[in-house]
């Protein structure tokens, strides 16, 4: 590797008991790299005024989205929040759809009616995010209740940020899920800031996961920048849920490396904090892992994956932008189901 | 002989022990609460002299009395519907309370609202908000004012265990904990929220466990032992007053009645009533005081007669009061200063 590890280099390891073959290991890399490069591309489109509305980045949080979604199985339900683009990619959403959606084109899943990641795909177990943060928690407790009532061996998994935990819906949904012992996984992505509110103004505890006790459900904390740890913790959470042990609350420690959205320079975030988390970049750490554990023979293998991603994204941008804006005559279509 | 246990057998030594005067005061108010509620629920309501529903705190008298006794003049209280002792201890007269229940013009809401839906800011009693748990953020707001002004005042807030499942409860306690506000949250865990038993309300046995998740002290107290209530409330209120932030105090008790006067509580196993009847808080205090030679049976009977006389007079007075005039109907809809 170009940068040999030093003692203060952030390194990740395989959690005990996690079994992962080479194909899966490289797929994790592919999705994280695709997540990052797709967002970089969207950022360029935003500056070209091609994106309609806001643009939300998950820079630095890709491991959390990708690792968690990768742990799901067929029939599971999932709903991303605004920084879980990676999860959508893992669940099979084509980048063309994402770009089409952000640019409000007809090819986008909502056909230009809604923006960014506000779309669902029920056939694939993807529920559309709800703008009111944490409102997905009671929704997912309901989906999980259905799974329990029909003895399905599936789980319903969704995400909230540290900020959304302060809302009504988070509390009511978690409590209901715990009482009913439903197979729900809620991942609290503690990324340090809720818009401009630092986490110490959001809750009065160091580790949010202690709240699991107050609901009487299982909770665990995970390094959200370690894709393997995230994958492992969600696989285990999934096994608990499927075994009927009730919901699981996961706190993933990570950091939002950009502003709340593209318009926000996040001047309120201390530079030292940003620098510290830059060193913990999940993609860089995973590259070092793949090399150190000889999953890849040389960096050339990753360069090939990167090149393939560039190719996919070039084509995706062309296809998406070739799609027209919705025709005004379609305005009333798809307003109701 | 070793030190005589201060209280009845099995009770741990308490840090704060009321003096004789305070003990007798608490006994008086507990009896007065029982008497006014018995009169309202078992007599006036059945005679059709009450307007609307009736909610009583039979069996829970020790909680409102043992906590409110610590209030200073400028403190503020946000009671719930089984905390009659709060109103009486704050100095609101039985006359006005019965007039309120009878829908009379001299009731606290001037005949506009019924039963416990009353407050009086002249006595720093915030009117009970029907939406259970809504008084939690309200009390936090009052406490925020005290903190911002540097006043040594505290806010007390009461709820049942059912209300703790509500989002407002969560949002209010979270806010109070972040800002270390001078507020104490009391939970009357009386085992049933209307017909919902505790086991279907939450997946934990003690609500107080939740305190840890907010980074505040939490305590479980025997809510039918007024001396234990007195002790725990004093510690929590002193902590809040000295800048130590909020606490959560859970009182274990039992609702010795239906949800309201119309509800026969047929869903509650009769043996639970039998079990809790033995723990009646008034009888327990009387026994303790007799064993301490603070009280004689003659004095006890005299106190009872006094309470009956107070309520007799209050009922007579209230019945002489006029109903509000129809032309007043738009008054008091908005605050008029």
Q: Among this protein's residues, is A102 annotated catalytic? A: no
Beta bridge partners of B249: B186, B219
Q: What is the pLDDT of residue B11?
A: 61
Type and span of the H or E element at B247? strand B247-252
On whether the CB atoms of residues A60 and A253 are closer than 8 A, the answer is: no
Interface probe for A, chosen from B167, B173, B176 (most Cβ of A below 10 Å), is: B167
Cα-to-chain-centroid distance, residue A266: 21
Q: What is the pLDDT of residue B6?
A: 41
**With the C-alpha atoms ordered B278, B282, B283, B284, is the resulting torsion angle positive or negative?**
positive
Residue A51 has pLDDT above 80, yes or no: yes
On whether the CB atoms of residues A90 and A58 are closer than 8 A, the answer is: no
Residue A2 has pLDDT above 90, yes or no: no
Distance (Å) from the alpha carbon of A197 to chain B's nearest alpha carbon: 12
| Average of per-residue pLDDT across B53-65 | 97
d(CA B19, CA A80): 60
Q: 10 Å Cβ neighbour count for B217?
A: 18
Closest by CA to A189, choosing from A257, A235, A240, A142, is: A257
Interface probe for B, chosen from A171, A199, A208 (most Cβ of B below 10 Å), is: A171
Q: What is the DSSP letter of A121?
A: B
Residue A72 has pLDDT above 60, yes or no: yes
What is the rounded average pLDDT for all residues in chain A? 95
Contact B170 A214 (CB under 8 A): no
What is the rounded average pLDDT for all residues in chain B? 95
Q: Among this protein's residues, is A263 annotated catalytic? A: no
Binning pLDDT at 50, 70 and 90, where does residue A1 land? Answer: very low
Kindly list the domain boundaries of chain B, sorted by start residue: 20-251+271-315
Q: What is the pLDDT of residue B9?
A: 45
| Average of per-residue pLDDT across A260-289 | 96
On whether the CB atoms of residues B41 and B54 are closer than 8 A, the answer is: yes
Binning pLDDT at 50, 70 and 90, where does residue B333 land? Answer: confident
On whether the CB atoms of residues A327 and A334 are closer than 8 A, the answer is: no
Q: Which residues of chain A neighbour B213 with C-beta distances below 8 Å?
A: 205, 210-211, 213-214
Residue whose pair of structure tokens reads 């920084």 in the numeric block = A83
The string over B235-259, giving b where at least 16 C-beta atoms fall within 10 Å of a residue's C-beta and e elsewhere, is bbbebbbeeebbbbbbbbbbbbbbb
| Average of per-residue pLDDT across B88-107 | 98
* pLDDT tens readout for residues B237-258: 999 999 999 999 999 999 999 9
Q: What is the pLDDT of residue B217?
A: 98
Q: What is the pLDDT of residue A7?
A: 63
Contact A175 B216 (CB under 8 A): no
Contact A179 B202 (CB under 8 A): yes
Interface of B with A (CB under 8 A): 165-171, 174-175, 177-178, 200-204, 209-216
Q: Percent of chain B beyond pLDDT 70?
A: 96
Q: Among this protein's residues, is A159 annotated catalytic? A: no
On whether the CB atoms of residues A124 and A92 are closer than 8 A, the answer is: yes
Read off φ and ψ for residue A160, nearest 5 degrees: -140, 160
| Average of per-residue pLDDT across A228-244 | 98
CB-CB: which of B168, B169, B203 is closest to A217? B203
Q: What is the pLDDT of residue B2?
A: 41
Contact B168 A204 (CB under 8 A): no
Q: Which domains does chain A have, with CATH numbers?
A: 22-278+298-321 (3.40.50.970)
| Average of per-residue pLDDT across A225-254 | 98
Distance (Å) from the alpha carbon of B54 to chain A's nearest alpha carbon: 28
Residue B162 has pLDDT above 80, yes or no: yes
Q: What is the DSSP letter of A114?
A: S
Residue A64 has pLDDT above 70, yes or no: yes
Read off φ and ψ for residue A297, nearest 5 degrees: -80, -35
Q: DSSP letter string over B104-173?
A: -TTSTTTTSS-TT---BGGGTBPPPPSSTTTHHHHHHHHHHHHHHHT----EEEEEETGGGGSHHHHHHH
* Tokens describing residue B193: 């929220």
Interface probe for A, chosen from B165, B199, B213 (most Cβ of A below 10 Å), is: B213
Q: Which residue among the candidates A83, A256, A287, A288 is catalytic per the annotation?
A: A256
CA atoms within 13 A on the CB side of A114: 14
Q: What is the pLDDT of residue A337?
A: 67
Distance (Å) from the alpha carbon of B180 to chain A's nearest alpha carbon: 9
Answer with the residue of higher pLDDT: B131 or A334: B131
Distance (Å) from the alpha carbon of B64 to chain A's nearest alpha carbon: 25
d(CA A248, CA A250): 6
- A205 CB within 8 Å of a chain B CB: yes
Binning pLDDT at 50, 70 and 90, where does residue B292 land? Answer: very high
CA atoms within 13 A on the CB side of B274: 3
- Does CATH place domain B20-251+271-315 in 3.40.50.970? yes
Give residues with Cβ within 8 angstroms of A249, minimum separation 6.
A174, A186, A188, A209, A211, A212, A215, A217, A218, A219, A220
pTM of the model: 0.94
Binning pLDDT at 50, 70 and 90, where does residue A283 land? Answer: very high
Q: What is the pLDDT of residue B4?
A: 41
């Amino acid at each position: 590797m170009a940068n040999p590890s030093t003692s203060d280099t952030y390194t990740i390891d395989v959690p005990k008991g996690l079994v992962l073959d080479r194909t899966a290991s490289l797929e994790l890399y592919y999705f994280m790299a695709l997540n990052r490069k797709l967002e970089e591309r969207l950022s360029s489109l935003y500056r070209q005024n091609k994106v309609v509305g806001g643009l939300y980045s998950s820079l630095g949080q890709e491991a959390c989205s990708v690792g968690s979604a990768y742990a799901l199985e067929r029939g599971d339900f999932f709903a991303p929040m605004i920084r879980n683009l990676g999860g959508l990619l893992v669940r099979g959403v084509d980048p063309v759809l994402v770009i089409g959606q952000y640019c409000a084109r007809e090819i986008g899943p909502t056909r230009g009616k809604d923006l960014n990641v506000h779309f669902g795909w029920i056939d694939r177990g993807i529920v559309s995010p709800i703008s009111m943060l944490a409102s997905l928690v009671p929704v997912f407790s309901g989906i999980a209740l259905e799974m329990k009532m029909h003895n399905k061996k599936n789980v319903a998994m969704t995400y909230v940020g540290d900020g959304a935990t302060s809302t009504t819906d988070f509390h009511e949904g978690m409590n209901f899920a715990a009482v009913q012992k439903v197979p729900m996984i809620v991942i609290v992505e503690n990324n340090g800031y809720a818009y401009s509110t630092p986490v110490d103004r959001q809750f009065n505890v160091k580790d949010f996961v202690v709240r699991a006790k107050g609901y009487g459900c299982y909770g665990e904390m995970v390094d959200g920048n370690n894709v393997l740890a995230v994958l492992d913790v969600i696989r285990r959470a999934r096994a608990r849920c499927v075994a009927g042990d009730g919901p699981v609350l996961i706190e993933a420690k990570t950091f939002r490396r950009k502003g709340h959205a593209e318009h926000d320079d996040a001047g309120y975030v201390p530079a030292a904090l940003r620098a510290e988390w830059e060193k913990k970049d999940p993609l860089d750490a995973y590259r070092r892992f793949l090399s150190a554990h000889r999953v890849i023979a040389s960096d050339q293998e990753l360069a090939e994956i990167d090149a393939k991603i560039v190719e996919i994204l070039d084509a995706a941008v062309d296809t998406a932008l070739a799609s027209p804006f919705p025709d005004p005559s379609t305005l009333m279509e798809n307003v109701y189901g | 002989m070793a030190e005589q246990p201060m209280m009845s057998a099995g009770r741990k030594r308490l840090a704060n022990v009321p003096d004789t005067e305070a003990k007798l005061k608490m006994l008086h108010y507990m009896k007065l609460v029982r008497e006014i509620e018995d009169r309202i629920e078992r007599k006036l309501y059945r005679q059709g002299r009450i307007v609307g529903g009736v909610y009583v705190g039979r069996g829970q008298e020790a909680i409102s009395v043992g906590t409110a006794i610590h209030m200073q003049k400028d403190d503020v209280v946000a009671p719930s519907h089984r905390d009659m002792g709060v109103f009486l201890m704050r100095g609101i007269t039985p006359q006005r309370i019965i007039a309120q229940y009878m829908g009379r013009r001299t009731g606290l809401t001037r005949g506009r609202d019924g039963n416990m839906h009353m407050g009086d800011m002249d006595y720093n009693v915030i009117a009970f908000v029907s939406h259970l748990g809504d008084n939690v953020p309200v009390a936090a707001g009052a406490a925020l004012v005290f903190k911002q002004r540097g006043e040594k005042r505290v806010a007390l807030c009461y709820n049942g265990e059912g209300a703790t499942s509500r989002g407002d409860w969560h949002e209010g306690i979270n806010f109070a904990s972040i800002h270390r506000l001078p507020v104490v949250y009391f939970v009357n865990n009386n085992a049933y929220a209307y017909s919902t038993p505790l086991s279907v309300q939450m997946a934990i046995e003690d609500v107080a466990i939740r305190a840890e998740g907010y980074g505040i002290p939490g305590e479980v107290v025997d809510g039918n032992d007024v001396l234990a209530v007195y002790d725990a409330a004093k510690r929590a209120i002193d902590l809040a007053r000295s800048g130590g932030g909020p606490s959560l105090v859970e009182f274990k008790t039992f609702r010795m009645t239906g949800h309201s006067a119309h509800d026969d509580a047929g869903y509650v196993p009769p043996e639970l009533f039998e079990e809790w009847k033995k723990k009646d808080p008034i009888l327990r205090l009387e026994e303790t005081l007799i064993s301490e030679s603070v009280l004689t049976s003659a004095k006890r009977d005299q106190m009872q007669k006094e309470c009956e006389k107070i309520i007799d007079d209050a009922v007579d007075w209230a019945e002489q009061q006029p109903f509000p005039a129809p032309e007043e109907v738009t008054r008091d809809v908005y605050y008029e200063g």
